[in-house]
Structures are given as structure tokens and as C-alpha cells.
Amino acid sequence: MSTVAEADVAHLFHPYTNLAKHPETGPLVITHGKGVRVFDEAGNDYIEGLAGLWCTALGWGEERLAEVAAEQMRTLPFYHLFSSKAHQPGVRLAEALAGMAPIPNAKVFLACSGSEANDTAIKMIWYRNNALGLPAKKKIIARERAYHGVTVATGSLTGLPVNQRSFDLPLPGILHTGCPHYWRYGHSGETEEQFASRRAEELEQLIQAEGPDTIAAFFAEPVMGAGGVIVPPATYFGKIQAVLKKYDVLLVVDEVITGFGRTGNMFGSETFGIKPDMMTVAKGLSSGYMPISALIVADHVYQPIKEEAGRIGVFGHGLTYGGHPVTAAVALETLKIYAERDIVNHVRRVSPVLQDGLRALQQHPLVGEARGLGLIGALEMVADKDTKTAFDPKWTVGARVVAKAQAHGVILRAMGDAVAFAPPLIISEDEIRELLARFRLALDEAHGELKTAGAALQ
């Protein structure tokens, strides 16, 4: 009988993986987890510095979630929400999310992933504008380095080359404006305030060039996650929202990563003073224990959709597993745990240890910028700190550092030469210090290896 690793190489088609190299390297087979740590087949422990994929907020081994899932499986293992059917977990979850979200009188559409929630938002926007007699108002603007998913439509919104190259994306009608990364894209002598104003002006120029009557919506993450953990200037969203309001463009806020405490508030929208017309959540909604997402819709968005569905006779969109009773029950219990354990205030208490630690590492020869807030952050590696010159891609510096970190018992993720940190929200101050100490060893090893190999360093 084959080993798990052998069967993996033979049969499993891995996402976000170098498929050509995978047969040589093989998988890291994770067998179990406890708290902020996961363990491999050999019993080695790893601090999960990215909470899995930004999602396992409560860490591993949360018995309450396992118990709720088991009980719901026994009671009602499946039912759907089509044709006016309902079940208690789905209804109560929608009620809870509508009460939490910074959107008054909200309606909640349940799906299975962040990609599905954002894809549904696109369809609803188009549907709504047809209902309003605005058939030309269909173009959607996202941002360079944005991440909103990998379906055909959301992969078009995503502003990362790897998600579009050879996939024939983006689709027509999906536009991109500049990334709000001041450190990388600010002009010489330009203040953060001036940079934020310039980005807002560029957005307005794009809307005017395309025709305001053709622009339907703008998608944005409060903190850009997979694009490199980009924290915008403080006044950026205020300026952006003024432009959107001027041209009657809907604002869809993607809280898939930032929702449920990650930034030190329940939602990133609260952290940055954003007022969404629509909002998507996933990942932390169930602490990653079950696949679930939600699209939260303001009443002024919902009403034209309702009226159009009435004219047609049905709202012709739905997902078999959207609002699955087991996933909904687990999500509802997750929200209860967040409230009972005051997760938001815990994040506020421990996050200075992470943020101060990352900024201390900015002194390291490899690190050009440390950035973040709450329990999300990144370190960007550069060949020259003064000029911010990136490394030649052949050195694969980000991937190299992450591989060294894994060898020292920390699992992180490289996005180009930026390394992201987003540990479970339950992490303690001592565990953050241990994570950073292990990572420092990896950083030093990678630096020494690059010097020996002849990489151009400052």
C-alpha cells in the first residue's frame, strides 16, 4: 500500500502549487492540530503563522465547534434554502450577521467560499442595474494587487498576474485602478495624504474616461491580503468613498480576511471608517472549520433585486450547499465564541507584540518594509533598502525565507518577496514571541545563503 505522500504525488491535483516541482519535493502531510500549532506525520510541530489560509481564528481543537457539527449532523445533516425552504441554523446565522455588520437593514445570502460570495455580488450588481433600467452600468473596478477569488469573474477582479496569466482573464468590463501601497508606489517627496489623494483622483479619472453611466461598483479589501498585506493610508478610504458617492458607484467591501477581529475591530470596515453597500465574509466566519461564506446586502441594493425577481417570477441564483445547516450551525457557534471570549479585545491586547516584533525585524538586512495592524502583517524583502530595489526573481527570496521558516517550525506564506503573518486570533503574547524568534532564525539563514550564492545585496 502506498504512503500518503506517494498517493498525494500520484493523484492529488494541488492548488497554488508548483505542479512541476511538487513530485520532487512532495507534500508536508499535516495530521492534527492543537491551539496555534499543527503537527506533521513525524510529530514535528509548527506554529501556524497564517492561521491555515487566514481563517482558523480559534485555532485547532475547538471542541465546541466539533460538538455543534456532530449534533447538527444527527438532527438535520442537509437541507437547502431554495423555494422558500428554511432551517434554524441558516436563519439564525443570517439574523446574527445582519445584526453585526456595519450595514443597516441588511439581507444575507449564504454561500460556501469567499470566491462564491464575491461572484454572487457581481451577479447581483448586474441584476440590480437591469432592474433599475441601467443596462449600460455594468463595469466593475477593482485594484491592482487585489484578491477577490478565483472563479472566472472573481479571478478577473483579482489584480495579481499569477491568477490571470494563461487563464484568459480578466473578462471584459472588469477594470483596475492603482494599489494603495504608499511605501512601494508613493512618489518621491509625496506625503501619505497626497498619495491617497492621487489614488482617489486616478479612480475618478478612470470613471470619467469609461463614462460614469457605465461604472456599477468598486470592490476593495480593507487590508489587501494575498496582494501582500497592504495597509492603506489613513485617509484613503474616505477619499475613495467620496468619489464613489459622486458617481453613484456601489462599494463592495471584501472582508473575507479582515472580518471577525483580524484588524482589532470586528470588521475592517470599522477600522477604516468604510460604509459598504455590500460586504462579503468567509474564512473566520466558521474559524475555517466548515466551508461557508456570506454576502451581506444593504436594503437599497436588495429592494430592486426583489422587485426584478417578482417580475421574472424567481431569483435565478443559488448554491446547493449555500447555507448548509451544518456549516451554518458551526458558524453561528463561532460567532458566539468570539463574543463570549471577547476576541476583539484579545487581539488589541496581544497585537502590539506582533507589530512591534515585525517592525524590529525591519532592521534586518533583507527587510525593506514591515507593515500591518492587529494580527495581520508582512515583511517585504528587498535587495536594496534605500532604493527599495526588488530582488531578481531568480533568487525566489520570499519562497526561500518561507521554506527556511517551515524548517524552523513556522508555517507562513510568501506573496512574491513579501512574507505574510496572520496567526490564529487566540495566539498568546509568548506564542507570538516564539513565532518571531523562529522566524528570525529563518531570516538569518536565508540571508547567509543568499550572500554565499552571490545575490546582489545592499
User: What are the tens digits of pLDDT across the range 437-448?
Assistant: 999 999 999 999
pTM: 0.96
For 28, the domain range is 4-61+342-453
For residues 374 and 284, the answer to whether their CB atoms sit within 8 Å is: no
CB atoms within 10 A of CB 21: 9
H/E element, 158:
none
Q: Do 406 and 330 fall into the same domain?
A: no
Q: Are residues 149 and 169 in the same domain?
A: yes
Which tens digits make up the pLDDT trace of 234-285? 999 999 999 999 999 999 999 999 999 999 999 999 999 999 999 999 999 9
Q: Which residues contact 65 (CB under 8 A, 6 or more apart)?
A: 58, 286, 287, 289, 330, 333, 334, 337
In a domain, 127, yes or no: yes
201, 323: one domain? yes
On whether residue 124 sits in a domain, the answer given is yes
53 and 197, same domain (yes or no): no
**Same domain membership, residue 109 and residue 186:** yes
| Residue 1's pLDDT band (cuts 50, 70, 90) | confident
pLDDT tens figures, 384-426:
999 999 999 999 999 999 999 999 999 999 999 999 999 999 9
How far is Cα 70 from Cα 64, in angstroms, rounded to an integer?
A: 10
Looking at this protein, which amino acid is placed at residue 376? I
Number of H helices and number of E strands within the chain?
Answer: 16, 15
Strand pairing partners for 420?
Answer: 378, 413
Number of domains in the chain: 2
275 and 174 belong to one structural domain:
yes
Considering the domain architecture, whether residues 112 and 209 belong to the same structural domain is answered as yes
Q: What is the CATH number of the domain that holds 26?
A: 3.90.1150.10
Q: Is residue 173 part of a domain?
A: yes
**Does residue 369 belong to any structural domain of this protein?**
yes
Q: What percent of the chain has pLDDT over 70?
A: 99
Among the candidates 314, 340, 366, a domain finishes at: 340
Are residues 186 and 296 located together in one domain of the fold?
yes
Is 316 inside any structural domain? yes
One domain, residues 348 and 332 = no
CATH number at residue 305: 3.40.640.10
Residue 437 lies in a domain: yes
- C-alpha pair distances (Å), 390 with each of 5, 368, 380, 381, 420: 35, 9, 9, 7, 17
Locate 181 and state its grid cell: 501601497
Same domain? 136 vs 270:
yes
Q: Answer yes or no: is 458 within a domain.
A: no
Q: Which residue type, as a one-letter code, is found at position 415?
A: M
Beta strands per DSSP E along 112-190: 139-143, 174-177
Residue 407 included in any domain: yes
In this model, does residue 55 exceed pLDDT 70? yes
Do both 335 and 346 map to the same domain? no
Residues 319 and 194 in one domain: yes
Boundary-marking domain end, from 302, 325, 340: 340
The yes-or-no verdict on residue 149 having pLDDT over 80 is yes
**What residue type is 105 in one-letter code?**
N
The pLDDT of residue 36 is above 70 = yes
Domain end call among 293, 323, 340: 340
